[in-house]
Amino acid sequence: MEQSFLAWLRGRQRSLPQVAVGIGDDAAVVDWPHSRQLVTSVDTIVDGVDFLLDQHSLAAIGHKALAVNLSDMAAMAADPVAALVAISLSNENATQTAAGIYEGILETAAEFGVAISGGDITCYDGPLAISITIIGQSEPQKAWLRSGALPDDVLLVSGSLGGSILQKHLAFTPRVRLAQQLRDRFKVNAAIDISDGLLLDLDRLCAASGCGIELELDKIPVSEDALALGEQKGSEPLEHALGDGEDYELLLSCSADQAAEILNADLGVPLTAIGTMTSRTGLWSKLPNKLIRLSPRGFVHGG
């Protein structure tokens, strides 16, 4: 299966100038400018945990496999360059499954200018698993980190949250272009993408920065899917926005002045101010006359 499939894949892969040697050799060769820093990340998605092979399209699964990595690039304000794709396939219909997954991967890679520079394919008696290592670049010391938030910073969130299980977890747009615009025009002190849930990922940002957050829960943008899921389950839509996970939106901590400028800019993606960073550690719901402690919670991936 491997040689014939690689021949097919080489025919499908678009050439990008940053990859001097791509699929077909023992390793890829990527040209790298001296003035840039390397930014890398790896994510694995597995049948039964992150998608359902018997219910979801192969192209959608392939899109998600690459898009979760692109979301990490967005959270770092890095420019994605190339990706290495490792797929572990069931022995049954392996070639057709790999081709369907790659349709989604290649379409998403083309949209964001990412070269698929290599990878690996394994067939075994187990669930489908896709692991992608993404390679990006950043100007020195310009990558966003989780650790730069300051007391009195305003916390912004992109898009809307909750109910991702209905469709978004497979069909989201990684916020790469939004992050590039923000990086080039404004100063963001800290950032993280929402993969596991607003409260859980926000707790990670706060811990890395040594800060806390006073959230205005009535400001959190609740998605239409969260409203629909709440109606289906008889649950509160806000609870879905706080903890469902797999929204892949950005949380951004920046000064009040920068936040005001960002909110007035036309960036193509809605941004909302949902709270203020504080020197008091922890997650807090800000009410008119008191603060209520919130517990971090979110989507727990299989171990």
Q: What is the pLDDT of residues 182-211, one digit of tens each?
A: 999 999 999 999 999 999 999 999 999 999
Instruction: Cite the residue boundaries of each domain of the chain with CATH code 3.30.1330.10.
Output: 2-138
Instruction: Provide the phi-psi class of 163: left if phi over 0, else alpha when psi is between -120 and 50, else beta.
Output: left
Domain 154-294, what fold?
A: Phosphoribosyl-aminoimidazole Synthetase; Chain A, domain 2 (3.90.650)
Q: 193: annotated binding-site residue?
A: yes
- The per-residue pLDDT for 302 is 47
From 25-39, 75-89, 129-143, the region with the lowest mean pLDDT: 25-39
Contact 26, 118 (CB under 8 A): no
Say whether 119 counts as a known binding-site residue: yes
The model's pTM = 0.92
The answer on whether 225 is annotated among ligand-binding residues is no
**Distance between CA 227 and CA 221 in Å, rounded?**
11
- 14 marked ligand binding residue: no
CATH 3.90.650.10 domain residues, the chain: 154-294
**246 in a labelled binding site:** yes
Q: Is 196 annotated as a binding residue?
A: yes
Cβ proximity of 242 and 174 under 8 Å: no
Find out whether 117 is annotated in a ligand binding site.
Answer: no
Query: Cα torsion for 72, 73, 75, 77, to the nearest 10°?
Result: 170
Flag whether 72 is marked binding: yes
CATH fold, domain 2-138, is 60s Ribosomal Protein L30; Chain: A; (3.30.1330)
Please check if 102 is assigned to a binding site: yes
The pLDDT of residue 278 is above 80: yes
Q: Any binding-site annotation on 163?
A: no
